[in-house]
Amino acid sequence: MRTVELSEATDALATYARDALNEPVVVLDHGKPIAALVAIESSDLETLSLSSNPQFLAILERSRNRHRVEGGISSDEMRRRIEAAE
């Protein structure tokens, strides 16, 4: 992992992005991490957008909590229900 202080980050963004293909580049502000550039493999813009969307993350968390409390159904049961509805 490469780190660079914000005050010393004077190269073009393209340079840091190319570097991130080999290892994460973490930007520090007075030694504290504030941003990171990482290579993206096997992902698309929609997935990236959702992975940092607070509303979507809240929906996932509510769903996980509900599953812990109420339980869930198996994939086989879900398929059976979908087929029955068709």
Q: Supply the DSSP string of 42-53, one letter for each residue.
A: S--HHHHHHHT-
Q: Give per-residue pLDDT as tens, 64-85.
A: 999 999 998 889 999 999 999 9
Average pLDDT of the residues of the chain: 94
State the Cα–Cα distance between residues 5 and 35, nearest whole angstrom: 11
pLDDT at 42 over 90: no
DSSP type of residue 11: S
pLDDT at position 16 is 97
Average the pLDDT over 16-29 and give the result: 97
